[in-house]
Amino acid sequence: MAKVFCIANQKGGVGKTTTSVNLAAGLVKAGQRVLLVDLDPQGNATMGSGVDKRQLELSVYDVLLESASIAETRVSSEKCGYDVLGASRDLAGAEVEMVSIERRERRLKQALEAVQGDYDFVLVDCPPSLSMLTLNGLCAANGVIVPMQCEYFALEGLTDLVNTIKQVHANLNKDLKIIGLLRVMFDPRITLQQQVSEQLKSHFGNKVFDTVIPRNVRLAEAPSYGLPGVVFDPSARGSQAYLEFAREMVARDL
Ligand code: ADP
Ligand code: MG
């Protein structure tokens, strides 16, 4: 049975997609079978896995509208070693088109049931909103991984996400929990970042992952080559940190 994790944070540009593709590639290097689901209409996780979103015949949009199965829709990213359920622009319309559908928040969960046996991990890269798309991710997941930068407003932004997760837990998905907060783009020379990092640890204790992802330009360069940093330059500091994070995820009793 695959473990399903959402990478979510309603803020944009906090490292969700970078975490999704690098964790996926890191898990593959740790011997795991992985499916990456791109739930963001921007399709960055798709492109960043070397899959051209403009060439997709089917996408996660078709899966959500039940016009295709995951088995028909997934493509394998040969360079990265994992499968991708890709997103393209039409996903932006899914929100509106799904309004009149019953149990619309459970579409992804239902579709994943048929491929549970094919994977050890399913990672869901969520859009920067608490929308119907994110809700589909949260309904399907065993847990949420929250990438965050150690900045002044970081804790404030967390409140909305934590409340949403509580609501989904209470009403839609009893399995759902926060697996952990992942500190990303970390720069230890910045005192404020160290302070916020300490605050996070005192508030959330062991819900803060041990691994810290540093700010590292190789991670930012990799997407333009259609690769996760972990594949593009495995020896870079940022890639090493994501490999460590993948090992931490495998080792955790989740
Ligand atoms: P999100 O998916 O939350 O919008 P992204 O993963 O796309 O965020 O990251 C936002 C930007 O920050 C991207 O340009 C990405 O390449 C860059 N980035 C992410 N993580 C790092 C890091 N650890 N070091 C340097 N740049 C990073
Ligand atoms: Mg993103």
Q: What is the mean pLDDT of each run of 10 residues along the chain (254 residues)?
A: 95 96 98 98 97 97 96 97 96 88 92 98 95 95 96 84 93 95 96 94 93 98 98 98 97 80
What's the token pair of residue 59? 């996408």
Give the domain CATH number at 49: 3.40.50.300
> C-alpha distances in angstroms, 25 versus 135, 203, 250?
25, 30, 13
Ligand 2 centre distance from Cα of residue 87 (Å): 11
Residue nearest to atom 4 of ligand 1 (CA): 13
Tell me the pairing of strands 82-85 and 75-77: antiparallel
What atom in ligand 1 is closest to the CA of residue 221?
Answer: 16
What's the token pair of residue 146? 């929250």
Ligand 2 centre distance from Cα of residue 125 (Å): 7
Ligand 1 centre distance from Cα of residue 15 (Å): 4
- Provide the b/e sequence for 53-69 (b: ≥16 CB within 10 Å): beebebbbbbbbbeebe
pLDDT at 156: 81
* Domains contained in the chain, number: 1
Range of the domain at 81: 3-251
> C-alpha distances in angstroms, 132 versus 107, 135, 142, 213?
10, 5, 18, 29
pLDDT at 100: 84
- What pTM, to 2 d.p., does this model score? 0.97
**Burial of residue 100, with CB atoms counted within 10 A of its CB: 0-12 exposed, 13-18 middle, 19 or more buried:** exposed
pLDDT at 217: 98
